[in-house]
Amino acid sequence: MTEARDHGGGLDQAMAHFGGARADWIDLSTGINPSPYPLPVISPSSWSALPDRSAFARLKDAARCFWDVPGQYDIVPAGGASALIAALPRILEGGSVSIPQPTYNEHRAAFKASGWAEARPPDVTVVVHPNNPDGRLWDGPFDTGSGQIIVDESFCDVLPERSFLRHYSINGVELKKSTKSDVNDKFDGTPPIILKSFGKFWGLAGVRLGFAICAPSVGANLREALGPWQVSGPACEIGINALSNPRWATETRARLKAAAQRLDNLLDTAGLDLVGGTDLFRLVAADDAQALQTHLAKRHILTRIFPYSKTWVRFGLPGPQTHWDRLTQAMNDRP
């Protein structure tokens, strides 16, 4: 039996333990934008017919334009970044991997399921950028030798200027070691595989859409592993529409930044210490993470704690003003 892994979400379990209907709860356990992209009108044929090559081509073109992906690199859409995370260990060569911890746990689970061992020097290095849950940003260099790098940028659309795509070059990638240094480290050969999640920044996790940006050889193997029609027709239409709306993205980044600052003020007033985060979630330290989560859950507010820390609590962004008011009241009611 596969070991269950902890994730955000899971309102059904919270309701079973603390009561209430789904509409009663505020789910702050995920890093999903609480104000999602407005859904376009979906054509009836997207529901009734298989997506064709032109639909995938338009989706890839929209992604290439939005992320400014150089033409020599491939883009592979999939049913969420999680589908790509699961497929990559099956198509990459090697047997040793380095995944700096703590981080998103699906990467380690996927490589472990495919028989990879965590060892150095690794054949593959995986970094989450910004990291989940502490928001760490990676600049390099990485101890990879000539190995493959995977950069999970599921939360990086709030900071497009920090994307590793900005450092793509024809022969590899130039990665600045530090903003305080003009020394660069260049990795020749296979460029990093960069993963993008549609659900986080656009707030449409249920659409199940993600992208791998990679060398053509990696892209071909990924498509073979994923099989045909790896993205639904409605997901294609939604993705094309959203990725073709840079104005919405720009306005959303400003709104999320303001909301994150507002959340910082609320949590600081409550006496919690900021550990890190992104403009989609904040990580704080509490005296007792489990006690704080339980206190909020009794008031139908779900947060995220972690099995490897007794103090870390992650808060997503509240949505409407009523959610902010309820969170403020719940934090003020703490013993």
Beta bridge partners, 30, equal: none
Beta bridge partners, 211, equal: 77, 196
Residue 186 has pLDDT above 70, yes or no: no
98-112 pLDDT per residue, tens: 999 999 999 999 999
Between vectors from CA 31 to CA 25 and to CA 34, what angle results, nearest 5°? 55
Which domains are delineated in the chain? Answer: 11-36+247-332 (3.90.1150.10), 44-244 (3.40.640.10)
Whose tokens are 């990676």? That residue is 138
Write down the pLDDT at residue 180: 30
Residue 185 has pLDDT above 50, yes or no: no
Residue 181 has pLDDT above 60, yes or no: no
269-308 pLDDT per residue, tens: 999 999 999 999 999 999 999 999 999 999 999 999 999 9
Whose tokens are 């659900």? That residue is 199
Residue 52 has pLDDT above 50, yes or no: yes
- Full-model pTM: 0.91
Write down the pLDDT at residue 333: 94
As a whole number, the mean pLDDT across the chain is 90
Do β-strands 96-98 and 124-128 pair in parallel, antiparallel, or remain unpaired? parallel
CB count within 10 Å of CB 17 equals 10
Residue 3 has pLDDT above 90, yes or no: no
The residue ranking higher by pLDDT, 268 or 177, is 268
Least confident interval from 7-16, 161-170, 195-204, 224-233: 161-170
Write down the pLDDT at residue 120: 87
How far is CA 225 from each of CA 60, 91, 285, rounded to the nearest angstrom? Answer: 18, 7, 41
Rounded Cα distance, 27 and 315, in Å? 9
How many percent of the chain have pLDDT more than 70? 88
The first and second tokens of residue 104, run together, are 């998103």
Write down the pLDDT at residue 142: 59
Residue 324 has pLDDT above 50, yes or no: yes
Single-letter amino acid code for the residue at 185? D
**Is 173 strand, coil or helix?**
strand
pLDDT band at 207 (very low <50, low <70, confident <90, very high): very high
Write down the pLDDT at residue 139: 81
